[in-house]
Structure 1
Amino acid sequence: MGSMDSMLDLVLGLPEQIVEAVVISERVNFGRPRSFDKLVVAGMGGSGISGDMVRCLFWGDNTMTVLSCRDYNIPAAVTSRTLFVAISYSGNTEETLTAFHQARRRNCRILAITSGGKLGRAAKRAGVPVITVPDGLPPRAAFGYLFVSLLKSLGKLGVCHSYEHDLAEAVGLMAECRSKWLRKARTVAGALLDQLPVVYSTSRLLDAVAERWRCQLNENAKVMCHTNVFPEHNHNEVVGMGSPDFLAKNTIVVGLIDRSTYGRTMLRLGYALDITRNGYAKFLKLKTEGKSSLARMFSLVMLGDLVSVELARLRGVDPMPVARIDELKRRMAKG
């Protein structure tokens, strides 16, 4: 089996990965639930997106403040009342390791999610609960393991409800629709070929989903991608759309739409597209499917992942390796 088919199988296997992640998280003893003033999730790249997804999921149904930490230094807001979660699939992400050690000095409650590595060893030495997920995957392809481990651990610690039914719905929806979405992804990828994808979120539920699209297009398809959010777009970016001139005929706008999208935001999207109609080549409207917020998020996550693999296929590039990231790590290791 080639790398193309391997990555495609990993994307299509997301529902099964979620089921396995639920089982894995059930085995971990997190200690007694307690109240926290905020949740901080530290992670980079394909590991860090899980924190952003939780932040977006909580936007409409949880009062917990959620901060994402994508840096070496943790926010000053991290205190002894904070729940700090360090996520590094490899366990060797230097920014996350640095943040983990800083969090320990703040005396906050800490949880680690990893496949092992330095983070796994450091957490065990410190007596920090560790959710150990299966290794051997590209971090971006372990999204189901990492996100669900985070979400289930938050449920056990009393931060949120269990999302048991929502996860079950998401699993069922993806299993039922993945073949249909693959066909749709091939159409979308065809439209994106040799174009600049500009992905807009129209609901706070989908902000992290748009970021997931960008990261997957970057790493799998090896293309640039720009993201922004509505209605903020109307207060700045609308002026610049289509400039420099070469962008106008080489930009595909992808709008991510959910039933939670505010009515006047949809009005703004329509007006903006009309006002800037000479600033892009084509507009693609993609709507979520499913009932629960979680299932709706996953519907566009899987579609975006499939689009990235299919665009890689059309471009004749291997979706698995990330040579430039590997070279950056090699150089950073030298000091």
Structure 2
Amino acid sequence: MSEYEELLDKFDKSDMAGWTRRFFDDLESAFQRDFDVIEENDWHGVLCVGMGGSGAGGTYLSTISSKAAGLPVHYWRDYGLPSWWGPEWLVIATSYSGNTEETISSVEMALREGGSVVGISSGGRLEDLLKESENSVHIGVPGGQMPRSAFGHLFGTQLSLFWCMGLLPAPSNQELEEMIARLRSSAEEWDPLVGTKAVDAARHISKSEIGIVAPSIMGCVASRFSCQLNENSNLFARCSEVPEMNHNEIIPWTEDSGKSQALVLIRSDYEEARTSARIDWFQNEANFSDRLVLKGEGVSLVEQMLYLSHITDWITIVLAVSIGVDPSEMTAIPALKDHLGKI
């Protein structure tokens, strides 16, 4: 038994590594679904509501849509809905359990004010609410795992829905098959039982505070990576985007403060040319204790996002078991929910 096979066996009690290995299977399954949703051309926009791992896909859809869609796509991670929302905005509500308090609040408000909701969950209160609404649809996903490990099911379903509704240009079946095949091949060595890439990457950032810097086009990926480090690895991490961080956070990075930080740079072929120039300058001028550069692979923006999301999941799992942390454990979140249920 290899070192990391032993560590996973000892600390990964709920098989986060196993769920991560099935990521591309989950995506493929979601891409093959045919949704009974009528294409609608009269929406003013789409609002994606959701929290935590269930809400991450909305940030990805917002970024992708800003480059390819004809409608604005925003996300909302709070109770209720923004003051500017109206029934002419389609709501896509995602809650893996179907019982996320904030998301249910948003859906109830949307239904109360005459809106249309597409809900994605493994059941729960969300499914019950939408079954009672004539103008809404519930789409089920397989249950039985942690929301953050179900990203393939959730984001895959969201993407398929956008393609089916004509909200984003739909790739052909052949293009999807080729993308999944490329992703399986390019990401294989990030599995610590197959290769050493995740182990080597984790060593670069294991002994310092972690700062993730990404071009705006990959800001959603950086944010999800930061959250996965929080939940899977029990580590503090933060993320910032270029060019925005060039107007603030660049200062401590280029002073002595940066020497205590592990710098993670996320790069993509889809970053703006001027953004690339900014990042090139920054990585030469910044101070850091160590540096890790992660480059998106693939022939489309979606493919590069999926690749980076998968390999960063492996990094967080390797970091967790390396320091004796169960990557599935999250005591504080259910404890908070129990507390809120009593008040």
TM-score, length basis structure 1 = 0.92
| Aligned mates of 2:88, 2:36 — CA distance in 1 | 20
Matched, 1:315 2:323: yes
| Aligned mates of 2:220, 2:41 — CA distance in 1 | 27
Equivalent position amino acid for 1:190 in 2: R
| Aligned mates of 2:19, 2:327 — CA distance in 1 | 11
User: In structure 2, do the counterparts of structure 1 residues 163 and 79 end up closer, same or farther at CA, with 3 Å as the change threshold?
Assistant: farther
Residue 203 of structure 2 corresponds to: 190
Matched, 1:91 2:117: no
User: In structure 2, do the counterparts of structure 1 residues 175 and 150 end up closer, same or farther at CA, with 3 Å as the change threshold?
Assistant: same
Identity %: 28
| Aligned mates of 1:227, 1:167 — CA distance in 2 | 30
Matched, 1:283 2:291: yes
8 Å Cα contact 2:27/2:153 also seen in 1: yes
Residue 5 of structure 2 corresponds to: none
Residue 39 of structure 1 corresponds to: 46
Equivalent position amino acid for 2:279 in 1: L
| Aligned mates of 2:59, 2:178 — CA distance in 1 | 21
Superposed CA offset, 1:3-24 (max 9, x none): 627111211211100111224x
| Aligned mates of 1:169, 1:96 — CA distance in 2 | 35
Residue 233 of structure 1 corresponds to: 245
Secondary structure class of the residue paired with 1:83? strand
Superposed CA offset, 1:131-181 (max 9, x none): 100111100011011111111112222212223455434321221123222
Secondary structure class of the residue paired with 2:110? helix
Where structure 2 has 5 or more consecutive residues not aligned to the other structure, the ranges are 1-8
Residue 71 of structure 1 corresponds to: 78
Secondary structure class of the residue paired with 2:12? helix
2:334 to 309, 326, 329: 326
Superposed CA offset, 1:242-298 (max 9, x none): 77x6x5443111111111222222222232334432xx2122221111111111111
8 Å Cα contact 1:213/1:305 also seen in 2: yes
8 Å Cα contact 2:252/2:258 also seen in 1: no
Superposed CA offset, 1:49-69 (max 9, x none): 010111111222223211111
Equivalent position amino acid for 1:8 in 2: A
| Aligned mates of 1:299, 1:136 — CA distance in 2 | 24
Matched, 1:22 2:31: yes
Superposed CA offset, 1:183-231 (max 9, x none): 2111111111132111111141x11111110111111011011100001
Matched, 1:258 2:268: yes
| Aligned mates of 2:254, 2:338 — CA distance in 1 | 38
| Aligned mates of 2:300, 2:206 — CA distance in 1 | 32
| Aligned mates of 2:27, 2:313 — CA distance in 1 | 15
| Aligned mates of 1:64, 1:3 — CA distance in 2 | 45
| Aligned mates of 1:43, 1:32 — CA distance in 2 | 23
| Aligned mates of 1:179, 1:195 — CA distance in 2 | 27
Residue 65 of structure 2 corresponds to: 58
| Aligned mates of 1:32, 1:232 — CA distance in 2 | 36
Aligned residue pairs: how many?
328
8 Å Cα contact 1:89/1:115 also seen in 2: yes
Residue 137 of structure 1 corresponds to: 145
Residue 6 of structure 2 corresponds to: none
Secondary structure class of the residue paired with 1:60? helix
| Aligned mates of 1:171, 1:123 — CA distance in 2 | 32
- Residue 32 of structure 1 deviates from its aligned partner by 4.5
Residue 295 of structure 1 corresponds to: 303
| Aligned mates of 2:145, 2:204 — CA distance in 1 | 29
Equivalent position amino acid for 1:181 in 2: W
Secondary structure class of the residue paired with 2:150? helix
User: In structure 2, do the counterparts of structure 1 residues 90 and 248 end up closer, same or farther at CA, with 3 Å as the change threshold?
Assistant: same
| Aligned mates of 2:176, 2:234 — CA distance in 1 | 31
Residue 111 of structure 2 corresponds to: 104
1:178 to 161, 173, 187: 187
8 Å Cα contact 1:200/1:256 also seen in 2: yes
| Aligned mates of 2:100, 2:223 — CA distance in 1 | 20
User: In structure 2, do the counterparts of structure 1 residues 19 and 203 end up closer, same or farther at CA, with 3 Å as the change threshold?
Assistant: same
Equivalent position amino acid for 1:241 in 2: W
| Aligned mates of 1:223, 1:63 — CA distance in 2 | 39
TM-score, length basis structure 2 = 0.90
User: In structure 2, do the counterparts of structure 1 residues 37 and 61 end up closer, same or farther at CA, with 3 Å as the change threshold?
Assistant: same
| Aligned mates of 2:81, 2:137 — CA distance in 1 | 20
